[in-house]
Amino acid sequence: MKERFEELKEELKSVSDKRREHGHKLHNLWDIIIIGLLAMVCLGTDFTDMETFGKEREKWLKKHLDLPNGIPDSDTFRRVFEKINPNELSKVLYGWLGLKPEKRSTIPLDGKTIRGSKNNKHKADTTVSAFAAENQIVLGELVVEEKTNEITAVPELLEIIDVEGGIVTGDAMNCQKNIVAKIIDKKADYVITIKENQSKLLEETQRYFDEFVDESEKITTENKRFFSILHG
């Protein structure tokens, strides 16, 4: 166990520490991150839970971490995690766990409404997630802000995950210029469903595949109002 902690501590040194260079740093960045992650694994939900987890298990944690000034408080956890680059942290964790997505892996984008989350004060919560199908791991997930929607949340999700070399897939809701532009910017390819209500785009796409049908493999599926083409 201690060897694995040492490996993780070394890997976490590659994560940028956004705290002031000449500030009064009482805690190591890797100690803060590890305690925070362990708290989340143990069903913690916020920064207060991270502090509580650390204090309840301080004796055990001291066997594996440095903790030069004991357990950080909840404000320290908040300040650090708000500034961490999520892409950097994801790469470290996936690498440490041996779960780095394979190149050319399929990465579906999906939005889900959380049952039972609706009440008199707000509508039901919705999350968007990206899933590496070949590895069976979730690359990232975001809660959709109440005054926005999946269309605005998906580019934010793509910004914080590594999809380079993958094939991002999505339903017709993701057939938006800003979404496919973000996928291209992240150096990935995409397969997005086209709906009939985008008649001009659908017509142009059908014309394109009709023109090159003899040169490319084409699989067509039809389901009531939906029409999609997978080009290989």
Q: Terminus-to-terminus CA distance in the chain, angstroms?
A: 45
Q: What is the pLDDT of residues 106-129, one digit of tens each?
A: 999 988 877 666 677 767 678 888
Q: Is the pLDDT of residue 42 over 60?
A: yes
List C-alpha distances in Å: 217 to 48, 105, 229: 54, 19, 10
Q: Is the pLDDT of residue 90 over 90?
A: no
Q: Is the pLDDT of residue 232 over 50?
A: no
Q: Please report the pLDDT score of residue 178 as a whole number.
A: 92
Pair 210, 112 in one domain: yes
39's CB contacts (< 8 A; 6+ apart) are 49, 50, 52, 53, 54
Q: Region 141-170: what's the mean pLDDT? A: 82
Find out whether 94 and 100 touch, Cβ atoms under 8 Å: yes
Q: For the whole model, what pTM was predicted?
A: 0.59
Pair 93, 142 in one domain: no
Residue 61 in tokens: 């944690």
Pair 226, 128 in one domain: yes
Q: What is the CATH number of the domain that holds 225?
A: 3.30.420
Q: Is the pLDDT of residue 228 over 60?
A: no
Q: Please report the pLDDT score of residue 114 as a whole number.
A: 72
Residue 177 in tokens: 């210029």
Q: Please give the angle made by the CA atoms of 43, 126 and 123, to the nearest 5 degrees.
A: 110
Q: Is the pLDDT of residue 168 over 70?
A: yes
Q: Region 152-172: what's the mean pLDDT? A: 89
Pair 121, 81 in one domain: no
Pair 186, 207 in one domain: yes
Pair 136, 74 in one domain: no
Tell me the pairing of strands 106-113 and 167-170: parallel
Q: Region 133-148: what's the mean pLDDT? A: 73
Spatial separation of the C-alpha atoms in residues 2 and 14, rounded to whole Å: 20
Which of 40-49, 134-143, 150-159, 188-197 shows the lowest mean pLDDT across its residues? 134-143
Q: Is the pLDDT of residue 189 over 90?
A: yes
List C-alpha distances in Å: 99 to 35, 92, 134, 136: 21, 10, 10, 9
150's CB contacts (< 8 A; 6+ apart) are 111, 126, 128, 144, 173, 174
Question: Residue 49 is part of which domain span?
Answer: 2-97
Q: Region 77-83: what's the mean pLDDT? A: 92
* pLDDT higher at 77 or 210: 77
Q: Please report the pLDDT score of residue 146 as a whole number.
A: 59
Q: Please report the pLDDT score of residue 67 as a whole number.
A: 94
Average pLDDT, the chain: 83
Pair 124, 204 in one domain: yes
